[in-house]
Structure 1
Amino acid sequence: MLSQQTITIIKSTVPVLEVYGAEITTTFYKSLFNAHPELLNMFNHANQQQGKQQAALANAVYAAALHIDRLEAILPVVRQIAQKHRSLGVQPEHYPIVGQHLLGAIKTVLGDAATDEIIEAWGEAYGVIANAFIGIERDLEVQAAEQSGGWSDFRAFRVERKVRESEVITSFYLMPVNGQPIADFAPGQYVSVKITIPGEPYTHIRQYSLSDAPGKPYYRISVKREEAFEERPAGKISNHLHKHIEEGSVLWLSAPAGDFILESGDTKPVVLISGGVGLTPMVSMLNTLAVTEPGRQVTFIHAAHNEQMHAMREHVEKLVSNHAQLSAYWCYAAPLGDPATYHKKGYLDLPWLKSVVPSKEASFYFCGPTPFMRAVNGMLKEWDVPDTAIHYEFFGPADVL
């Protein structure tokens, strides 16, 4: 438990963190990687270059300070981050290293304003939060290893099939090299894939949603090849997977993780909304619902740039034709072909959403690029859909909707 004095001091820094948070976290990562370059393998370098990782950490530190007197308020976020940490292989010994460089960054950016009293208070608070992460991650690691078919750390999988789904998305069907059973997972969860690129000193780890229903003898990930665009560099790992990983190649996977999952015990209709490669967890959910809940109404909405960028369309349409409770709608920003082959030209909007979704009394799940997710979230809020019915997943560092 933190003392009242520590809580008061931390609270007093909230306005400062609101202004200087991003500068502090940028300084932190630079210092951390200079001292421990081996930790670079746990981070997406493109997210670092674009400032996404720094912004996510700044938001987390700000939230911790804001709620320091009732840390239970941020436990859901702690669990979400802990899921990612467990999947990436974060260890208890990493936390003192992070704490040292985070406190150092606060001191560097704030200078004399970061008094010894403030640094000591933040050191105490960091220790409490770090211990919460360590405890949750230990429990998650035990659960992952001890479940039927589970394992700890990373496990070798062979690419059994490589399937081109669209101009930019390719699926990889992965089976364990040792031939032993694999862990079950909840639709919406992801795995971490560890890649070694010849000639590079450190491995790379990326997280990809599982794009098929559980209960199969394989895992499937569907990866978008990320090209360079404006300030965004090309995706090093996505391009490596597309260009160099073939059937027979071996990839190393962590056990499934993540808390973006279909809620159990919910009987309301389901609306699945995806943009671009955000359809991967949605298809996992759709495949599952089609078989396990035949009486539950499901509306699947996918937005793509055009027909060539639309992955798994034929698969979803076949599911819809075979299951009366399913319906699907396509929205293309810049369609190339016959208007009869899609349902909306341009971007999603609330009037159209209302026209295809039977009722707002449903559970909404969505995933895609952050601007797309902000737009969908705004529509649902405008429609007065309650927060408890809104579920979403960020690919990469958490952002703000």
Structure 2
Amino acid sequence: MVTPLDDKTRATVTACVPALEAHGVAITTEMYKRLLADPAISALFNSAHQKNGSQPTALALAVLAYARNINSLDQLGGMVERIAEKHVGLNILPEHYPHVGQALLGAIAQVLGDAATPEIMDAWAKAYGFLADVLISRENEIYKAHEAASGGWAGWRPFTIQSRTPESALVTSFELVPTDGNPVMAHKPGQYLSFSLTVPGHGNQRRNYSISSAPNGRSYRISVRRAEKGLVSGWLHDSAQVGTEVQVSAPAGSFTLPSPQSAPIVLLSAGVGLTPFIAMLEARAAAAAHGCPASAHAPLQYIHGTDTAQTEAFGALVRDLAAKGAIKADVFYTHSPADTLPAQATSGTTPHAGRITPDWVRANTPADALYYLCGPECFMQDMMTGLRAAGVPEERLRREVFGPATTLDDALNAA
């Protein structure tokens, strides 16, 4: 049972909001500097997010959101769930929390200096302890659910790459099977796997990748885009071969379709943001193969943006499902003139030249649709802003953010 915060503590934390708005990133940057000085703790984090500054920014946003909503903690449910799912994927344990608390309080004291009065430090110690207890409790529930699931596990489990499949000029899929040969737990389409990888010359690296296949009880598939100067994506593309072993934690994440599905669903993606949607599409195809007609599901529309036909991944799967009437598909080729669009040999898929715009989406999707978004940050912000301006209510907008949140809105509301 988590003990609620007292009124004085909540009032003191609320009074710190202006200081967090002004100095939040400085505080979290200093916090990570202290925290990552311990190699055992440093190994728990994605080093790329530290180097580019996105992790300190994301934590600063989360701390600010916590302080702003400390009197209405129900507003933080989505943020707490996202953090808990990430922590479970990375195998964060209760014994790690005191290290984080010590580093955070030390950073607050150093950055705020004399303004960090004993009253403020006491309030933040209590506020951190409360949030830590909430997260530990939720993470314990998730760990237990993973262990209890058929084919489930907690902690790291060795998997072996069984096959590699080029999906486009930039994306390669890796099918992963448990090294022990036993079954795997059924993931919910839209979830991701977390990896602990050893990259020669760079030590241990932690990464998350969406599962791009429907549940099958025996394997998972991830589809990875080769990122420019990407340490891990480059290693996967160039060095991870059939037979390579990797450490994987159980599927996590809440970017999943509702059950039951009633409202029309629009899957809106760009680039490699399609990966969680491919799992959803494959799951629908599997249901159809087992005799469940498309009419038994809510209508599903897939809208995707890619540079050219050469960068389009899973195009054949999408066109096949569209031809069978399982989905309606629109594919935008941002760098292809209209007269060079790929010829569509099947019905149900419409090619477009140029970029997806919020106006086009609103005009060509059902009025009561539930929107799922995933893709590059600029794409996501453009779509979210445009769809909100067009009158789409917040409860019908869901998005997955690859990596740390970069806006307060994402920190609070992203899946």
Q: 1:384 is matched by which residue type in structure 2? A: G
| Corresponding residue of 2:17 | 14
Where do 1:165-176 residues align within 5 Å? Answer: 165-176=167-178
Cα distance in 1, alignment partners of residues 179 and 53 from structure 2: 37
Change (3 A) 1:116 1:156: same
Match of 1:369 among 365, 376, 400: 376
Q: Deviations over 1:80-111 (max 9, x none)?
A: 11001001010111110000010111111111
Of 106-115 and 67-76, deviating more is 67-76
Alignment of 1:335 with 2:336, yes or no, is: yes
Aligned-pair CA distance for 1:216: 4.8
Maintained 8 Å contact 2:194/2:249: yes
Change (3 A) 1:291 1:379: farther
| Corresponding residue of 1:398 | 405
| Corresponding residue of 1:54 | 56
Where do 1:179-194 residues align within 5 Å? Answer: 179-194=181-196
Aligned-pair CA distance for 1:345: 2.5
| Corresponding residue of 1:360 | 367
Alignment of 1:389 with 2:396, yes or no, is: yes
Aligned-pair CA distance for 1:383: 2.3
Of 296-305 and 273-282, deviating more is 296-305
| Corresponding residue of 1:206 | 207
| Corresponding residue of 1:294 | 294
Structure 2: unaligned runs, 5 residues or longer: 288-292, 344-349, 410-415
| Corresponding residue of 2:413 | none
Change (3 A) 1:164 1:325: closer
Q: TM-score, normalised by structure 1?
A: 0.94
Match of 1:68 among 67, 70, 73: 70
Q: Deviations over 1:131-167 (max 9, x none)?
A: 1111111111011111100011111111111001111
Aligned-pair CA distance for 1:247: 1.0
Aligned-pair CA distance for 1:379: 2.2
Maintained 8 Å contact 2:162/2:243: yes
Q: Tell me, what secondary structure is at the counterpart of 1:392? A: strand
Q: Deviations over 1:248-303 (max 9, x none)?
A: 11111101000111111121111101111100001111222344361132111111
Maintained 8 Å contact 1:282/1:366: no
Aligned-pair CA distance for 1:179: 1.2
| Corresponding residue of 2:224 | 223
Maintained 8 Å contact 1:290/1:326: no
Aligned-pair CA distance for 1:340: 5.2
| Corresponding residue of 1:275 | 270
Structure 1: unaligned runs, 5 residues or longer: 228-233
Change (3 A) 1:63 1:351: closer
Aligned-pair CA distance for 1:176: 1.1
Q: Tell me, what secondary structure is at the counterpart of 1:344? A: strand
Maintained 8 Å contact 1:305/1:332: yes
Q: 2:240 is matched by which residue type in structure 1? A: I
Give % identity. 39
Match of 1:38 among 40, 51, 76: 40
Q: 1:214 is matched by which residue type in structure 2? A: P
Maintained 8 Å contact 2:174/2:221: yes
Cα distance in 2, alignment partners of residues 32 and 371 from structure 1: 31
Cα distance in 2, alignment partners of residues 347 and 139 from structure 1: 42
Cα distance in 2, alignment partners of residues 23 and 333 from structure 1: 38
Maintained 8 Å contact 1:150/1:182: yes
Q: Tell me, what secondary structure is at the counterpart of 1:42? A: coil
Q: TM-score, normalised by structure 2?
A: 0.91
Q: 1:396 is matched by which residue type in structure 2? A: G
Q: Tell me, what secondary structure is at the counterpart of 1:167? A: coil
Q: Deviations over 1:210-230 (max 9, x none)?
A: 001112521000011111xxx
Cα distance in 2, alignment partners of residues 275 and 89 from structure 1: 30
The alignment's C-alpha RMSD in Å is 1.6
Aligned-pair CA distance for 1:381: 0.9
Alignment of 1:257 with 2:252, yes or no, is: yes
- Give the count of matched residue pairs: 391
Q: Tell me, what secondary structure is at the counterpart of 2:330? A: strand
Q: Tell me, what secondary structure is at the counterpart of 1:196? A: strand
Cα distance in 2, alignment partners of residues 123 and 222 from structure 1: 42
Alignment of 1:350 with 2:358, yes or no, is: yes
Q: Deviations over 1:9-60 (max 9, x none)?
A: 11110111011111111111112112x1232222222222222111110011
Q: Tell me, what secondary structure is at the counterpart of 1:184? A: coil
Q: Tell me, what secondary structure is at the counterpart of 2:263? A: coil
Maintained 8 Å contact 2:182/2:218: no
Maintained 8 Å contact 2:333/2:341: no
Aligned-pair CA distance for 1:348: 1.4
Where do 1:118-129 residues align within 5 Å? Answer: 118-129=120-131
Cα distance in 2, alignment partners of residues 153 and 74 from structure 1: 26
Maintained 8 Å contact 1:300/1:329: yes
Where do 1:95-174 residues align within 5 Å? Answer: 95-174=97-176
Q: 1:326 is matched by which residue type in structure 2? A: I
Q: Tell me, what secondary structure is at the counterpart of 1:30? A: helix
